[in-house]
Amino acid sequence: KYDGERCQLHFDRERNVVELYSRHLERSTEKFPELAELFQSQTEVTKSFILDGEIVLYEYPLDGVPVLQ
């Protein structure tokens, strides 16, 4: 199991606004601006939605074993 940070992503298509919140409902959009930008740029998404999940950051070094941060 990978360890990450719990997050809710709220996407409002009408206003084209993305907000991220921690498990304690603290706004955390500034921590992951690339996620907000990614969803705002998706023109084929036509409905508003909320995603609830885990953000896991990793990188693959030359040996192929992910490094979790």
31 is catalytic: no
pLDDT digits (tens, 9 = 90+) for 20-45: 999 999 999 999 899 899 988 988 88
> For residue 59, which amino acid is it?
E
Q: What's the pTM?
A: 0.74
pLDDT at 58: 66
Catalytic residue among 1, 15, 24, 47: 1
Task: Give the integer Cα–Cα distance in Å for 2 and 56.
Answer: 7
Q: What share of the chain is helix, strand, coil (3-state, %, to 5)?
A: 15, 35, 50
pLDDT digits (tens, 9 = 90+) for 39-52: 889 888 889 999 99
